[in-house]
Chains A and B, each alone.
Chain A
Amino acid sequence: MRETPLSNCERDFLLKSIEAKKRLDGRQTYDYRNIKITFGTDYGCCTVCLGKTRVLAQVSCELVPPKDARPTEGLMFFNLELSPMASPGFQSNRQSELLVTLNRQLERCLRNSRCIDTESLCVISGEKVWQIRVDVHVLNHDGNLMDAASVAAISALSHFKRPEVAIQGRDVTVFSPEERDPVPLSVYHMPICVSFAFFQQGTYLLVDPCEKEEQVMDGLLVIAMNKHREICFIQSSGGIMLLKDQVLRCSKIASVKVSEITELISKALENDKRVRKEGGKFGFAESVAKERITVLTREEAPLEMTDVQATADEIISKADAPPEVVPSPVIVATGTGQVGEGLQSTWGLEDDDDEEEEMSDLTEREKKKDEVMVISDSEEEEVVILNQAGQSKCS
């Protein structure tokens, strides 16, 4: 399916409203949409809703041999996927330009900023290290995928816990979560992306563009920053010329937004930790707003099972009994087998044949039976015999 294109009227309307400092959803120029962060039941699973944009991140780990050049460092692998659920224009297993850009940006934002201590992921130098895999699934596309993906990925990484390992000589024992408490990753800092959309060759600027705004923008500036106001990566795309002041102003806005979002992530993490500790309910099922008309839940309840036994018995009694007698296979010769007695072939034979002929045929068949026992080890052999029988009948 193809993406619905933007009509000229919509385009003009959007650009005019941006000139008039108005946005479709009633936000101000520097406003971010609402961010909602929820964690799943297992460690390292996180959903981020940025307005209507929705992203799911899952972190997993496995033991792998390290790279030869860096034998003491763990590996990080990022995989962002544009699920066809997010937008009809996205196709699974196709490398689109957007997909490559987003994957590369996520990698630069999280791996190249060295926010995760990869040396602590080493188990045995040069032999076994942890590979941390981050899967980011885009579930709904309403603009600004990069910011949502970066928030989801870093939240999931901070939430994730890897299994505890013990090393004795060269033996590595991986403990299950029941045996020993899993250990969290050491996260040095949290880089978070903030996107700025530029319109009319950089005259107008909007923070956190929605999908329609992204379709009419001229250029995009993405700044990844942590709460210590260190820029982790910066990328300008779309081919617009930005002035030095503009970039500086953007970085100032980014620093404010990043500190807000970092605050939100740490609050969400703390909440989840508290609930888990207290033994309360957690996970996505708990985070669903129950007061919506589109939501309905039912409590766990036993099933009424009064007449189940009777129904099952009835069905069985009605059903035909399965055939009990299974004919044992006859092995004619090695490598062959046959089930059943084998009736007289009626192919080319007529029932009202002469008795004499039938008699001779029978004797022939009897004779043949012995022969078959001895010589027949392929179908062709039998064909030959049948022909003989036919010939004898003709004579």
Chain B
Amino acid sequence: MELDIGSSVLREFGSEQSLLSKPDGSATFMQGDTSVLVGVYGPAEVKVNKEIYDRATLEVLIQPKSGMPSVRERTREQCVRETCEAALLSTLHPRSSLTLVMQVVHDDGSLLACCLNAACTALMDAGLPMSRLFCGVTCAIDAESQIITDPTAQQEKESRALMTFAIDSKEHNVMMSSTKGSFSVKEMQQCIAVSQKASERIFQFYRDSVKRRYSKIL
């Protein structure tokens, strides 16, 4: 089955950094209507039972918009935590805690990708040492075997398979993948290739936003 990858778009996206006064770093990331707000605390003191003697303890909390956090949030937390752990140089802050608190502001598809992007932007804002940056890209394969990047909630619902990849900025390798539905090896490789392409634009965006902040030119 041949996949059509001619018409992939990323929705309008943007971010705002340092919008909360209390956390050490904060950011909101918006992809279309999907929006996530993140606050980062740390490095700070850690509870004795969570202390790790040679690196910082990273804690990720995702708060849903209504109701209590459930299993779905836990899996997302784990995906984000493992990606952040791979990117952060946590050995530079042994016996301390890093806390990432995420609030889902609106879910209109590609939520995990948006969480990853928001987490990276907030970590940059907090100025924590990282070996690389990362971004998240969601691809959906619809019934006609077309790859849709950055799908909306409606497109996600109609899709046959859904894949989210975390891509690193150094070698554009895959740091994390989370998939749903069935697909062939070839389809997956194509989705990875598409995500790597899409990640370049997000990394360019990170670079532009940092440049804008520190050159102080609008």
Contact = CB atoms under 8 A, between A and B. Distances in A.
Contacts of A292: 16
A131 interface: no
A172 interface: no
Interface residues of B, number: 64
Interface residues of A, number: 54
Interface in B152-196: 185-186, 189-190, 192-194, 196
Contacts of A58: 65-66
B18 interface: yes
Interface string A46-64: 0100001010101010000
Contact of B205 (A92, A137, A296, A315): A296
Interface stretch (A78-86, A237-245, A383-391): A78-86
B14 A288 contact: yes
A305 B197 contact: yes
Given A81-B63, A140-B21, A312-B192, A296 B103 contact: no
A30 interface: no
A141 B22 contact: yes
Given A87-B22, A303-B10, A308 B65 contact: no
Interface string A123-138: 0000000000101010
Contacts of B22: 85-88, 140-142
Interface in A276-332: 283-285, 288, 291-305, 308-309, 311-312, 315-316, 319, 322
A87 B101 CA distance: 11
A284 B105 contact: yes
B213 A294 contact: yes
B149 interface: yes
Contacts of B51: none
A94 interface: no
Contacts of A137: 63, 65, 103
Interface stretch (A37-45, A104-112, A340-348, A356-364): A37-45
A295 B16 contact: yes
Contact of B9 (A135, A139, A283, A300): A300
B35 A284 contact: yes
A142 B37 CA distance: 17
6 contacts: A1-B45, A2-B45, A83-B63, A294-B17, A295-B17, A319-B185
Q: Nearest 3 A-B pairs (CB), nearest first? A: A297-B14, A85-B39, A85-B101
